């Protein structure tokens, strides 16, 4: 099946620093990737839709200057949490949309990145 990787899997940083998370589709091309955030014991909340070669589309309430998304190629999207604060601590998960033969199939998720801001 399709594989999506994320790096790093876990990061601890000091308040005020920026953290970059990479999401890669390893064996397929993804024109569209998605970034989610999940707090403990809660569901996934969509943060933004990342489109290759164009600006990301952010969900209501998500600060685009805080969470910078770059989708520079068909296999890589990055999420940068700028000037991170303790309230940004969360589990960040990316997914990539698989389209086969022009038909939407499903989305595949990366393993997630646990961010802890001290």
Partner 1 sequence: GIQVEQSPPDLILQEGANSTLRCNFSDSVNNLQWFHQNPWGQLINLFYIPSGTKQNGRLSATTVATERYSLLYISSSQTTDSGVYFCAVGYNTNAGKSTFGDGTTLTVKP
Whole-angstrom distance, CA of residue 36 vs CA of residue 48: 7
Q: Which stretch binds partner 1 (CB under 8 A): 18-26, 38-46, 70-78, 79-87?
A: 38-46
> Exactly one of 32, 75, 77, 78 binds partner 1 (CB under 8 A); which one?
32
Q: Is 7 in the site for partner 1 (CB under 8 A)?
A: no
Q: Is 89 in the site for partner 1 (CB under 8 A)?
A: no
Q: Is 74 in the site for partner 1 (CB under 8 A)?
A: no
> Exactly one of 23, 33, 69, 117 binds partner 1 (CB under 8 A); which one?
33
**Which residues in this chain contact partner 1 in the complex, by CB under 8 A?**
32-34, 38, 42-46, 49, 91, 93, 95-97, 104-109, 111-112, 114
């Amino acid at each position: 099946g399709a594989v999506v990787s994320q790096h790093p899997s876990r990061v601890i940083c000091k308040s005020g620093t920026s953290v970059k998370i990479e999401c890669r589709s390893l064996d397929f091309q993804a024109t569209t990737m998605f970034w989610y955030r999940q707090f403990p014991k809660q569901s996934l909340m969509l943060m933004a839709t990342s489109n290759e070669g164009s600006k990301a589309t952010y969900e209501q309430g998500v600060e685009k200057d805080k969470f910078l998304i770059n989708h520079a190629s068909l296999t890589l999207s990055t999420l940068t949490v700028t000037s991170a604060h303790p309230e940004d601590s969360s589990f960040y998960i990316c997914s990539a949309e698989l389209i086969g033969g022009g038909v939407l199939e499903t989305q595949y998720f990366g393993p997630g990145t646990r961010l802890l801001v001290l």
